[in-house]
Structure 1
């Protein structure tokens, strides 16, 4: 019964997405001086969820129940400006991405904790 609660699945998907975003940012920063390196990125979580809406299907009138895939998006090459050596990493941009990823992970943990507390109260524990 509690395995299929969408709030937990969404919180887990946000945590995975934030973890991947942080890992890509770290990889980009590590290669900031590598000639010809193209920075990798993934879309933000909202765009990822919106993109998965085509997998939903209506099971009865006025009810939409869809199975959202639990995979994270594939990284793509960043199309921003490129330095003369062919590198597209911006340290300032990566710092902003890392902060956004940290906030997303914190948000996922807060949602998870809050939902767990609601379940505990509803069960009387």
Structure 2
């Protein structure tokens, strides 16, 4: 079994690949901000199975598991967050629905998420190296 086959490493690798693709989509949205009739696009976030592979859309994602009685029980629901499903501004006369402010906020969020995933990936590999004595 390869190190990259471990579930946590596979999930982090898949997450970083998704974030790279999302960054490209967000950059295309910004680049086409002046294109008449252009609508901003977004990628659907991946959902992972316990083995680290990407789950199909109809399958549930990773849930919380209480492995010990001394652990705090989680509710299984994410913390409330600001939804940016649509633009906060009116559509331009050209029919363009791209808000540069929203796209730049999404790009900044995506960049910080990618940095976190890459840090976790690197630390996971360092921990594995330490465990095998390197």
* TM-score, length-scaled by structure 1: 0.71
How much does 1:20 deviate?
A: 1.3
Q: State the match for 2:29 in structure 1.
A: 28
1:121 to 122, 125, 130: 130
Q: Tell which has more relative contact order, 1 or 2 (C-alpha 8 A, sep 6+).
A: 1
Which structure features the higher share of strand residues?
Answer: 1
- CA distance 1:113–1:67, change in 2 (3 Å): closer
The 8 Å contact of residues 13 and 70 in structure 1, kept in 2 or not, is answered as: no
- CA distance 1:67–1:11, change in 2 (3 Å): closer
Q: State the match for 2:54 in structure 1.
A: 69
Q: Could you list the runs of 4 or more consecutive aligned residues of structure 1 that deviate by over 6 angstroms after TM superposition? A: none
Q: State the match for 1:86 in structure 2.
A: 95
The 8 Å contact of residues 15 and 117 in structure 2, kept in 1 or not, is answered as: yes
- CA distance 1:18–1:109, change in 2 (3 Å): same
Q: Which runs of 5+ in 2 are unaligned?
A: 57-84
SS at match of 1:105: helix
How much does 1:17 deviate?
A: 1.4
Deviations, residues 20-51 of structure 1 (Å, cap 9, x unaligned): 111111101111111101111123x4xx31xx
Residue 95 of structure 1 pairs with residue 107 of structure 2: no
* TM-score, length-scaled by structure 2: 0.67
C-alpha distance in 1, partners of 2:54/2:15? 13
RMSD: 2.3
Tell me the matched-pair count.
103
SS at match of 1:106: helix
How much does 1:82 deviate?
A: 2.7
Residue 38 of structure 1 pairs with residue 23 of structure 2: no
